[in-house]
Amino acid sequence: MSAPRPLALVTGGAKGLGRDLCLQLAGAGYDLLVNYLSSESEAESLTAEIGGTGAVAWRHRADVADEAEVSRLFSTADATGRKLGLVVNNVGIYDPRPLRQIDGVGWERTIACNLNGAFHVCRAALSRLGRGGQIINLGVAGNQMNQAEGFATDYYISKAALLQLTRAMAAEYAADGVWLNMVSPGQLVNSIGEVGGAPGLVPMGRDGTFGDIWEAVRYLLAAKYVTGANIEVAGGYRL
Ligand SMILES: NC(=O)c1ccc[n+]([C@@H]2O[C@H](COP(=O)([O-])OP(=O)(O)OC[C@H]3O[C@@H](n4cnc5c(N)ncnc54)[C@H](OP(=O)(O)O)[C@@H]3O)[C@@H](O)[C@H]2O)c1
C-alpha cells in the first residue's frame, strides 16, 4: 500500500483561482482540504471532482476572519489523518471604491478577511507544519502603484501588510524548516470580482491565467532555498 499523500489546505478554494489551485495540487500528489465560506455547492462538486482524480478531498466551511472558526477548520485537517504539508492563503476580498467612499465597516471587513484571516490560518498552520512544510500567501502585483491611486486602498493595504507578515514569519520559521512565500498575480483573465482584465496595460500584452499562477506555486513547491519571497506573476504589469 502506498504512503498517504500530504494534505494541502486552500482557503477560499471552492471557486476562482483557489479552485484551480486545488485541482493542480491534487494532480501534484496532495490530498485536499477545501475551505469555503458561501460556495457550498461549488465546494461539494469540487471535492467530488478531486475524488475522481484519485486524490481525497474534504471541505470545511469557515470564515477565516473568525479565529474560532479557523481553529475548527484545522481540527478537520487533523481529523483527516494526513500530514499537513502545504497551506495556501488564497482568500482575498476586493470591493473597489475610491478611498473617500471606504467606510469603517468595509475597511474592517477587508482587513479581517485578507490580513487577520491569513494570520489566524498561518498561526494554526505553523503549529502543525513540520520540516519541509510550506505556506503560500496570495498577494497582488504592483501594490505600491495601486495604493497610490487611492482606489481599493483597503485591499492594497491588506496585501502590503500580508507581505510584511509573510516576510516576518518566514524569517522566524526558516530555522524550523518551514517556508513562507507570496505569489502576487497582476490582472487575471478570470478577474477577482469579475471586473474584467486590462490586457492593454500589461507589457506582455495579455492578462494572466490561473495556469501562470500555478507555474509560480509549482516552482515554490520544488524550491529548496527560497523563503520570504514575493513572486509577481503579472507580465510586467505595474513595475
Ligand atoms: N483574480 C485576480 O485578478 C487577482 C489579482 C490579484 C490578486 N488576486 C488574489 O488572488 C486570490 C484569489 O483571487 P480570486 O479572483 O480567485 O478571488 P475570488 O474568486 O473572489 O475567490 C475568493 C474566495 O475567497 C472566499 N472568501 C472570501 N472571504 C472569505 C472568508 N472570510 N473566509 C473564507 N473564505 C472567504 C470566497 O469563498 P466563497 O465563494 O465560499 O464565499 C471566494 O470564493 C485573492 O487573494 C486575490 O486577492 C487575484
Let me know if 155 is a catalytic residue: yes
**Ligand 1 atom with minimal separation from the 64 CA:** 32
Task: Give yes or no for residue 82 having a pLDDT over 60.
Answer: yes
Could you tell me the distance, in angstroms and rounded to a whole number, from the CA of residue 129 to the centre of ligand 1?
24
The structure's pTM equals 0.97
Question: Which three cell numbers mark 188?
Answer: 487575471
Task: Give yes or no for residue 196 having a pLDDT over 60.
Answer: no
Strand, coil or helix: what is 148? helix
Count of beta carbons in the 10 Å neighbourhood of residue 230: 16
Could you tell me the distance, in angstroms and rounded to a whole number, from the CA of residue 159 to the centre of ligand 1?
12
Amino acid 149: pLDDT: 78
CB neighbour list of residue 163: distance below 8 Å, 6 or more residues apart: 137, 139, 143, 182, 184, 230
Helix pair 104-111, 153-173: axis angle to 10 deg: 30
- Render pLDDT for 210-225 as a digit per residue (tens, 0 to 9): 999 999 999 999 999 9
Amino acid 197: pLDDT: 56
Mean pLDDT of 184-211: 78
Could you tell me the distance, in angstroms and rounded to a whole number, from the CA of residue 195 to the centre of ligand 1?
13
Amino acid 191: pLDDT: 56
Q: Which of 30, 36, 94, 155 does the annotation list as catalytic?
A: 155
Alpha carbons 33 and 145: distance in angstroms, whole number:
35
Residue 194: which pLDDT band, with cuts at 50, 70 and 90?
A: very low
Task: Identify which of 5, 16, 21 has the alpha carbon closest to the alpha carbon of residue 213.
Answer: 21
Task: Give yes or no for residue 1 having a pLDDT over 70.
Answer: no
Task: Identify which of 113, 165, 110, 157 has the alpha carbon closest to the alpha carbon of residue 137.
Answer: 165
Could you tell me the distance, in angstroms and rounded to a whole number, from the CA of residue 227 to the centre of ligand 1?
23
- For the chain, give the percent of residues with pLDDT over 70: 95
Least confident of 70-74, 123-127, 147-151, 173-177: 147-151
Task: Give yes or no for residue 174 having a pLDDT over 70.
Answer: yes
Could you tell me the distance, in angstroms and rounded to a whole number, from the CA of residue 114 to the centre of ligand 1?
9
Rounded to a whole number, what is the distance in angstroms from the first to the last CA of the chain?
50
Residue 144: which pLDDT band, with cuts at 50, 70 and 90?
A: confident
Residue 193: which pLDDT band, with cuts at 50, 70 and 90?
A: very low
Mean pLDDT of 148-173: 95
Amino acid 35: pLDDT: 99
**Mean pLDDT over each residue of the chain, to the nearest integer:** 94
- Substitution site in 21, 37, 121 for ligand 1 pocket (most atoms within 8 Å of beta carbon): 37
Question: Which three cell numbers mark 112?
Answer: 479581517
The residue type of 142 is G
Count of beta carbons in the 10 Å neighbourhood of residue 184: 21
Cβ-count burial 8-20 (b if 16+ within 10 Å, e if not): bbbbbbbebbbbb
- Render pLDDT for 104-128 as a digit per residue (tens, 0 to 9): 999 999 999 999 999 999 999 999 9
Tell me the Ramachandran region of residue 139: left when phi exceeds 0, alpha when psi lies from -120 to 50, beta otherwise. Answer: beta
Q: Angle at the Cα of 109 (from 199 to 211), degrees rounded to 5?
A: 30
Mean pLDDT of 40-50: 98
Question: What is the CATH code of the structural domain delimited by 7-233?
Answer: 3.40.50.720
Residues lining ligand 1, Cβ inside 6 A = 11-12, 14-18, 35-39, 63-65, 90-94, 113, 117, 138, 140, 185, 187-188, 191-192
CB neighbour list of residue 120: distance below 8 Å, 6 or more residues apart: 64, 65, 66, 67, 70
Domain boundaries, the chain: 7-233
Alpha carbons 186 and 193: distance in angstroms, whole number:
14
**C-alpha of 35 from chain center:** 11
Q: Confirm if 185 and 175 have CB atoms less than 8 A apart.
A: no
Residue 99 has, within 13 A of its CA and on its CB side, a CA count of 8
**Ligand 1 atom with minimal separation from the 65 CA:** 31
**Ligand 1 atom with minimal separation from the 159 CA:** 47
Alpha carbons 236 and 206: distance in angstroms, whole number:
10
